[in-house]
Structure formats: C-alpha cells, structure tokens
Structure 1
Amino acid sequence: MSTFWQPTQLPPVEELETRAVLKKLPAAHRALAELKGILGTIPDADILLNTLPLQEAKDSSAIENIITTHDELFQATVQVDGPTTQAAK
C-alpha cells in the first residue's frame, strides 16, 4: 500500500508574518524596485520576461529526459509553421 502526498489546508495555520520575514521585507522591496527600474531601461522588456516560462519548461522537460536547447525553443516560438524538433514541441 503506497501513501499519497496530501496538500495541507489553505490558508496555513502557522503565522506567516514572523519577525524573520518582516526583517527581510525592506531588502526584498529594494531589490524589486531596482529590478523595476532596470526593466524600464530595456527597449522591449517583454522579450526578456517571455523567456522565463520557456526556460522553466526546458528544465522541467529535462527531468523527463526530453532534452532540447534554448536555441531550438526560441526558434520554435518564432517559426509557427517551420520545422521544429520533437523535443522543442
């Protein structure tokens, strides 16, 4: 008999606004503000941001032994009817 993972109930019962978390908020706020400022200097920031889901998909596929390159993935997104590898699909 195998045991299946059961998610915990949401919202969590333990306190999330702990002293340790609250102490890290100013640094996180500064880092996000800096990122927002840098993104404003990029002519087309969507190009950079849209690559993040592709990179995550590539890494997830690698876990399943489906290996592809970033180049193949980017080409597959631009070439709608063009030839792509099976892994890039």
Structure 2
Amino acid sequence: MNYKIPLLPLDKDIESKTVLKKCAKAHQALAELKGIVPTIPNESILINTLSLQEAKDSSAIENIVTTHDELFKSDNLAQQFITLAAKEVFNYSTALQDGFKHVKNNDLLTSNYIKKIQAIIEQNNAGFRTQSGTTLKNEQTGEVIYTPPQTHDE
C-alpha cells in the first residue's frame, strides 16, 4: 500500500453525523481540560508530558522506537540521553513545543518557521528536501507506507 495524501478540498463529505458527534465530544473534553488546567500547580508538566508522548508515538512511525522508561531516565536539559532514539524523541518534543508557542504567539506558521522546526528535529539546517526518492517503509516487510511529495510542485 502506497499512501498518498489527497489534495484539498476532499471529494467526500467529512461533516457526517458521526464526525460531528465526535467533534462535540472532543469539544466537551477540551472544555473540561481547559477548566482543570489552571488548578494544576505547574501546568507545564502536563503540556510537556503530552508533547513527549506525541513525539514518542509519532517517532515510532519512522521506526524510531523508545520506551517511556528510556525517556524518563534521559535528561533533555543536560542533553544526556539513554539511547539515540530517546534523543530524537526529545528533539521532536522540543520542536513541537516551539512550533506550538510560535503559532500561539503569531497566529501564523510560515515555511521559514517550518524549516526552523525541522532544524530542531534534525539538528541541522538542511531545509526542504530537494531530491526525490524518499519513502517511509515498513522495516520488516519493505512495504512502502507513505511517499512524501517528490517535486517542488507536489
């Protein structure tokens, strides 16, 4: 299976009854969370934990696999990591938090800022990919899971 992101707008109606019901439930849950967060003495602990979990799960898609134990034994501030995978997950988490703060403060996400976020993750300033041929593959089967845009026009 070679998944390709469809162009917008989508051909199908995504505002179905089921989706709208799920949106209402999500809205309610977010409202509850918004009400509870100010009562937490240090709300950044919650935010940092959520971004770290998201980074861990998203990194696994790219075959960067680590455990919660490895993450919590690592020290991002001191730049001491149990494994290389833990370091990469922390880079992702840091980039996620940085991007979130930027959008929150500026209400805008530019291609230049996307490059800055990428530089945090990759620990280099390579910028946007200019060569074609990149795919995400299942390491065990070799199956292509996703093919990102291959040309500037895509």
Q: With the length of structure 1 as denominator, give the TM-score of the two structures.
A: 0.65
2:52 aligned to which of 42, 50, 54: 54
**Which runs of 5 or more structure 1 residues have no equivalent in the other structure?**
none
Counterpart of 1:78 in 2: which secondary structure? coil
- Partner residue of 1:13? 11
Q: Does 1:84 align with 2:81?
A: yes
Other-structure match for 2:24? 26
The structure-2 alpha-carbon separation of the partners of 1:24 and 1:67, relative to structure 1 and needing over 3 Å to count, comes to: closer
Cα deviation, residue 56, structure 1 = 3.1
Q: Which amino acid aligns with 1:41?
A: T
Give the 3-state SS of the residue equivalent to 1:23 in structure 2.
helix
Q: State the Cα RMSD in Å.
A: 2.8
Deviation sequence 1:62-84 (CA, Å, 0-9, x none): 963654512233x2x1214xx43
TM superposition shift of 1:4: 4.5
C-alpha distance in structure 1 between counterparts of 2:49 and 2:33, whole Å: 16
Question: What whole-Å deviation, never above 9, does each CA across 1:24-81 have from its counterpart, x for those lacking one?
Answer: 33322221111111111112212211222322333425963654512233x2x1214x
1:40 is paired with a residue whose SS is helix
Q: In terms of Rg, which structure is larger?
A: 1
> Contact 1:72/1:85 (CA < 8 Å) preserved in 2?
yes
Unaligned 5+ runs, structure 2: 88-154
Q: Distance in 2 between matches of 1:57 and 1:15?
A: 30
